[in-house]
Amino acid sequence: MPDQRARFEESVLPHLDAAFNLARWLVQNSSEAQDLVQEAYLRAWKGFAGFRGGDARPWILTIVRNTCYSWLRNHSIRDLAVEFDEGLHTDENSMPNPERVFMQEVNRGVLEQALQALPAEFRESIVLRELEGLSYKEISAIAGVPVGTVMSRLARARARLRDCIVAASG
């Protein structure tokens, strides 16, 4: 099917970096991420009839994301604390505090470690928003949760990152 292949290479392959970046941040292991991206692309290719055109990036990232979460469920203990208090409860610390001093000098690597320490769903929100520049709506479609949940995850992830920065420079 040369036409289909050309169409696939043209629309889905350009997002390989985005796919690998997301997988790498989710499973936190480079060779595993490569295997999972390959698997995701295989599924994408098999299911290419289901792709109606337009921007393929959210489409392939949804497949990558689901592939990675399946792997995470089978290979590690999920951070259930996120599922429990997510959604309806507002965390005092998640509202930005105008009084808080934001340290100007940040050690390189602090933020990277802080992101690694976040639960997977928070990490995913930050990666999709800040590294991929996706909209709330696109992130909500990829993650399969309402926009309100995306916003809440971002707010709480950012609050935790800020706390790590402040703690590291204290």
Provide the strand spans (E) within 20-165.
none
Report the residue from 29, 32, 38, 82 that binds other proteins according to the rule CB under 8 A. 38
Reference 129, options 95, 158, 164; nearest CA is 158
Instruction: Name the minimum Å distance from CB 49 to other proteins.
Output: 5
Rounded Cα–Cα distance for residues 124 and 121 (Å): 5
For 103, the token pair is 């340290």
Instruction: Name the minimum Å distance from CB 55 to other proteins.
Output: 5
Q: Would you say 44 or 120 has its CB closer to other proteins?
A: 44
Site string for other proteins, 54-83 (x = CB under 8 A): xxx-xx--xx--x-----------------
Residue list 112-141, contact with other proteins (CB under 8 A) = 112, 115, 126, 129-131, 135-138, 141
Q: Per rule CB under 8 A, is residue 45 in the interface with other proteins?
A: yes
**Which 8-state DSSP code applies to residue 94?**
G
Binders of other proteins: how many residues, by CB under 8 A?
Answer: 75
Judge whether 65 and 145 are in contact, CB under 8 Å.
no
Angle between helices 110-117 and 147-169 (to 10 degrees): 130
Q: Per rule CB under 8 A, is residue 16 in the interface with other proteins?
A: yes
Q: Per rule CB under 8 A, is residue 87 in the interface with other proteins?
A: yes
Report the residue from 83, 100, 117, 167 that binds other proteins according to the rule CB under 8 A. 100
Q: Per rule CB under 8 A, is residue 26 in the interface with other proteins?
A: no
Report the residue from 78, 93, 147, 163 that binds other proteins according to the rule CB under 8 A. 147
Judge whether 144 and 42 are in contact, CB under 8 Å.
no
Rounded Cα–Cα distance for residues 87 and 127 (Å): 20
